[in-house]
Amino acid sequence: MPFGLKAWCVIKTENFESFLDVWNKLPRSAHAFLPSKDECNPGNLGSLLSQTALFRYDAKYQLTILFVGSEMERLSGLGSTGENYYSLISDDLKLSMNFHHKTIFNTPCGAYVGDVITPRNGNSYLFETMQFPVCDSNGEVKFLLAYGYGRRDTGNLGERDVSDRTGQHIRDLHYMDLGAGAPDNCIIDFEMHP
């Protein structure tokens, strides 16, 4: 299995094979097992760029959006470059999302997240992401590269309200070992497991 992925994740990677292939081929000049932000560039990400987003973790409740590809923006409803991700989620989700982000950066490890999105038009769909930590040129882990896949009709079917960004919408969450281990706690079918 690639980089310590558990059996559940291998089953769920059918929509992520292209991303995982690119991830595994990215250079790693500043960190033992993570690429740097500079190595996650359009030349290396290629055709996957439209489904990616890049964030910088600045402090508790401060995850700055640096880039959002067009398809990632359409599927996730993410905001504009420079916007704080935490301003887009409900207050009840901020503490657990900060814990999630700190886990990714401090371990460092990756994560698979299945989020049920219901835009204003009422048509729900599952939006799946793989979220992997990325370092700066000095090896400090402070960026997050996300790749997203969702089954949503073409076109803009409505915006996603902050009220739709709550913990109750996270169907699945599993951490992935990228080289330094990963926590076993997870969410499966909306239930937390230790």
> What is the pLDDT, as a whole number, of residue 190?
53
H or E element in which residue 44 lies: helix 42-45
> What is the pLDDT, as a whole number, of residue 167?
45
What's the whole-number mean pLDDT along residues 90-104? 88
More confident residue, 152 or 174: 174
> What's the rounded Cα separation, in Å, for the pair 6 and 176?
7
> What is the pLDDT, as a whole number, of residue 63?
96
Asked if residue 55 lies in contact with residue 84, where contact means CB atoms within 8 angstroms, the answer is no
Confidence of residue 164 (pLDDT cuts 50, 70, 90): very low
pLDDT value at 5 more than 50: no
Its domain, for residue 157, covers: 2-193
What's the whole-number mean pLDDT along residues 153-174? 54
Q: In what order do the strands lie in the sheet with 125-135?
A: 62-68, 52-59, 141-150, 125-135, 110-117, 170-176, 186-188, 191-193
Single pTM value for the model: 0.84
Tally the domains of the chain.
Answer: 1
> What is the pLDDT, as a whole number, of residue 80?
81
What's the whole-number mean pLDDT along residues 16-26? 92
Distance from chain centroid for Cα 110: 8
> What is the pLDDT, as a whole number, of residue 34?
97
Rounded mean pLDDT of the chain? 81
How many CA atoms, within 13 angstroms, populate the side-chain half-sphere of residue 75?
Answer: 24
Amino acid at 172: D
Token pair in block for residue 114: 């299945």
> How much of the chain, in percent, has pLDDT values that exceed 70?
74
pLDDT value at 78 more than 80: no
Looking up residue 53, the CATH number of its domain turns out to be: 3.30.450.20
> What is the pLDDT, as a whole number, of residue 28?
97
Cα dihedral 10/141/54/72 (nearest 10):
20
> What is the pLDDT, as a whole number, of residue 130?
94
What digits encode the pLDDT tens for the residues 123-154?
A: 777 788 899 999 999 999 999 999 998 765 54
